[in-house]
Amino acid sequence: MAEYFLEADYYQICKHGYQSCGDSFHSIKTGDRIVCVLADGLGSGIKASVLATLTTTMAAGFISSNMNIKHAAEVILETLPVCSYRHIGYSTFTIIDAGLDGKVRIIEHDNPPYALIRDGQVLQVQKQEIPIKSFRKSHLYYSELELQPEDRILYYSDGVSQSGMGLPHLPLGWQEKRVEMYLQSLLQTNPRISAGELTKNVAQKARENDANKAADDITCAALYLRNPRRTVVFTGPPYKKEHDQVLAQMAKEFNGRKVICGGTTSAILARELGLRIKVNLKEIKHNQEVPPTATLEGFDLVTEGTITLSRCLKALEEDANPDTMPDNGVKRLLKTLLDSDIIDFVVGTKINDAHQDPALPKDLEIRRNLMKQYCKILEKKYLKSTEIVFI
């Protein structure tokens, strides 16, 4: 399975009229595993958000510290309060412990059942019911499975399956069966759709069912085992001019999406590859704050350097939604990185006199520091694989 990549992503929509989401999603990559937890707090707003967040962080912490997944679920149930009137827990949850080799363990507590999709079809999965030693009106289900390449697991809160409830054509809501049918139609149209795009489509369809005013918090998450989507980002001129040719050769041989961030870097690559850069002048009128992008044959994106990189890093830190951003170099770089699995940064180490005081230690050099921050946030927050090559 080493040649495959396990993508984990989710999409969330707050209940109409609320600022805080009563659902919580938390994922963490630890060693050769990814732990994902989706929790749905009882009710809506701040209280539900606190209970759901408590559940996801507790579960992710337990599993990542190698606690048995069944024991972790039992500890969470014992810890969470129970509604004295309805005798149900204050949060439901789905916990997934997925090895990068495709071996997956899942435990579910009162969330809609997950869907395992293989070859465009939803497969039935054998689940073990675990007795709950309390007066709770709830269930705990455990399952183990081994993903095959191109398999997906989709799981969601009841804001998805109950969307549209009460409408003439959906008296009981969208329900799991219709969600699965919608999934199959999406995959038929786009068999290689990413986990991020798949969850966004499902969540937005659920909101449509509620006349575009979500009647409940909506969260949809997915795992997708597939060939990795590779991207290389070139930024900064090489330390020695004779290495310009090495940079060009790296670009020529790379199999995947290619991005250049920096005017000097793009000029070097254009010269060495015998190509011509064309600046997108129309963007100057519409994007006064962000420098325009350019086009260069064989490259998917060419942007300015420091400003674009800094703003894109800020967008990653703030979990910005590219769909709501103006169309400029920052948005396009953000979308490219989010849609990639393995990202290589090729960083030139020549000091730019405009940005660097030669008296400062090398670690404080703007470009190097910026790229290290990129790797840190892309790996920790977005579960990407990254590598920096200094040249």
CA distance 9 to 199: 8
Where along the chain do its domains lie? Answer: 5-226, 230-390
- Which helix (H) or strand (E) segment holds residue 11: the answer is strand 5-13
Provide the pLDDT for residue 353: 54
Mean pLDDT in consecutive groups of 10 residues from the start of the chain, 391 residues = 82 94 93 93 87 91 87 82 59 93 93 95 93 68 95 97 90 94 95 94 97 95 95 93 94 96 95 94 77 95 93 94 90 95 92 52 64 94 93 88
Q: Which CATH architecture has domain 5-226?
A: 4-Layer Sandwich (3.60)
DSSP, residue by residue, 316-327: HHTT--GGGS-S
Provide the pLDDT for residue 359: 46
* Helical packing angle, 366-380 and 306-317, nearest 10°: 30
Provide the pLDDT for residue 360: 45
Q: Are strands 218-226 and 230-235 parallel, antiparallel or unpaired?
A: unpaired
Provide the pLDDT for residue 143: 96
CA separation, residue 158 to residues 141, 179, 212, 257 (Å): 17, 11, 16, 37
Provide the pLDDT for residue 351: 66
**Residue partners of 221: CB distance under 8 A and separation at least 6:** 8, 9, 10, 11, 25, 36, 38, 154, 155, 156, 199
Residues in the chain, total:
391
